[in-house]
């Protein structure tokens, strides 16, 4: 009987140790799986961001800002910020880049909340489920339109995309630039005026995990993409007469 009891105790100990080890192994496997999933998302988002940047850089080699699509007074009011970027190529063909579909605003990713015992409000990751649902269910795309054809630059199949914003630089008119250069040319200390710089634009867009959940490390990947593109296409000289300062349809 003693041997049987001793054997039973051993069995119980082994079973207990096996259960403990199984729990540790399962927890470790779950942790590794979550880390692997997060790394995969980070790689996917970074890859798409890199491809987008390369596409814009290639496009920039032969394009410039389509001034006829903008009102300079509006650009000065918004400090160059627009929701649609209008370009034109060397053949004067129009190109538009914008987001399309149900897009969330990047500002929705954070909300003002009290941080711990502090009574001060801070911008912290949003936790409201209705806002998170809006982000997760967004059907947003970054598209390029040219000659009636639409090309998708980014879509929301693998991640969520915010509303894109662009900032045109410079955002003052040729006439204002002419006045600035005319004023500088009268300065006897300036021997030679610098050449007029090429225009460019900033792109602001945010990408998140498809099932974005701030409290879950495996699903809280956020990439606020900010990239500047210098346009190298033929740009009218700032010394040339200004024929049209109003946007056209």
Model confidence over 132-183: pLDDT tens digits? 999 998 899 999 999 999 999 999 888 999 999 999 987 766 566 667 666 6
In the prediction, which pLDDT does 132 show? 92
- Tell me which residue of 56, 38, 59 sits closest to 48, measured CA to CA: 56
pTM: 0.74
CA distance 65 to 56: 13
In the prediction, which pLDDT does 189 show? 58
Model confidence over 90-111: pLDDT tens digits? 999 999 999 999 999 999 998 8
CA distance 242 to 92: 17
The segments of the chain whose pLDDT lies below 70 read 1-6, 8-9, 29, 115-121, 123, 172-178, 180-197, 235-249
CA distance 63 to 52: 16
Residue 232, number of CB atoms within 10 A of its CB: 15
């Amino acid at each position: 009987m003693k041997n049987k009891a001793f054997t039973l105790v051993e069995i119980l100990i082994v079973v207990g140790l096996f259960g403990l080890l199984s729990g540790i192994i399962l927890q470790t496997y779950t942790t590794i799986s979550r880390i692997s999933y997060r790394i995969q998302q980070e790689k996917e988002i970074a890859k798409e961001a890199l491809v987008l940047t390369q596409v814009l850089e290639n496009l920039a080699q032969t394009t410039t800002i389509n001034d006829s699509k903008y009102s300079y007074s509006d650009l000065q009011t918004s400090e160059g910020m627009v929701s649609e970027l209008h370009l034109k190529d060397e053949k004067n063909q129009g190109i538009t880049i914008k987001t399309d579909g149900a897009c969330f605003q990047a500002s929705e990713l954070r909300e003002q909340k009290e941080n711990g015992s502090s009574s001060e409000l801070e911008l912290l990751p949003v936790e409201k489920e209705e806002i998170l649902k809006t982000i997760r269910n967004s059907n947003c795309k970054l598209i390029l339109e040219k000659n009636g054809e639409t090309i998708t630059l980014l879509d929301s199949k693998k991640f969520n995309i915010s509303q894109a914003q662009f900032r045109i630089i410079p955002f003052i008119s040729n006439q204002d630039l002419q006045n600035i250069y005319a004023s500088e040319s009268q300065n006897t200390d300036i021997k030679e005026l610098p050449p007029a710089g090429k225009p460019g634009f900033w792109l602001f867009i945010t990408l998140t995990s498809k099932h974005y959940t701030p409290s879950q490390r495996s699903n809280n990947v956020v990439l606020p993409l900010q990239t500047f593109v210098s346009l190298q296409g033929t740009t009218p000289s700032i010394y040339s007469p200004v024929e049209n300062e109003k946007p056209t349809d």
